[in-house]
């Protein structure tokens, strides 16, 4: 939450007399984007914690995403995360199927990734 207070102060320096956020530098846009991507609560709570309206923050986040797509921010290295296995797996060895929880509590199992991709393409 302290990070959002700092972010709020940084953003407020680029707020015009009419309340618009103008000329926000790319470094601050990257901070906003990282805070947005790591936020686990509701969007409304994020906007409140940063102290700006949904409309203002949507414009800032949109601009940051655009800059990221265009390669203005340095690419972060991929970091593998290994999680400890808890309990006994239901079947030894590698995963034998991909399970997709569908509406009405249905579960669909796909034996191969290609089958899942075909299904998703047809469902879209």
Q: How far, in Å, CA of 46 to CA of 53, rounded?
A: 10
Q: Of residues 105 and 47, which shows the higher confidence score?
A: 47
Question: Which of the four pLDDT bands, split at 50, 70 and 90, describes residue 108?
Answer: confident
Q: In the block, which residue shows the tokens 């601009």? A: 63
Sign, Cα dihedral of 48, 50, 55, 57: negative
How do beta strands 107-110 and 98-101 pair? antiparallel
> Residues 63-99: pLDDT tens digits?
999 998 888 877 767 777 776 766 555 555 566 678 8
Q: How far, in Å, CA of 124 to CA of 120, rounded?
A: 6
For the residues 112-120, what does the mean pLDDT come to? 85
User: Three-state DSSP class for 111?
Assistant: coil
Q: Give me the residues paired with residue 108 across strands.
A: 100
Give the residue extent of every domain in the chain.
2-69, 92-124
pTM for the full predicted model? 0.57
């Amino acid at each position: 939450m302290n990070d959002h207070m700092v972010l709020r102060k940084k953003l407020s320096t680029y707020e015009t007399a009419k309340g618009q956020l103008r000329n926000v530098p790319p470094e601050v846009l990257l901070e906003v984007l990282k805070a947005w991507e790591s936020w686990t609560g509701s969007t409304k709570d994020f906007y409140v914690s940063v102290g700006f309206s949904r409309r203002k923050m949507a414009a800032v986040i949109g601009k940051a995403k655009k800059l990221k797509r265009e390669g203005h921010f340095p690419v972060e290295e991929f970091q593998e995360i290994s999680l400890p296995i808890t309990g006994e797996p239901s079947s030894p060895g590698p995963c034998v199927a991909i399970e997709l929880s569908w509406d009405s509590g249905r579960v669909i199992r796909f034996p191969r990734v290609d089958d899942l991709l075909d299904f998703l393409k047809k469902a879209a």
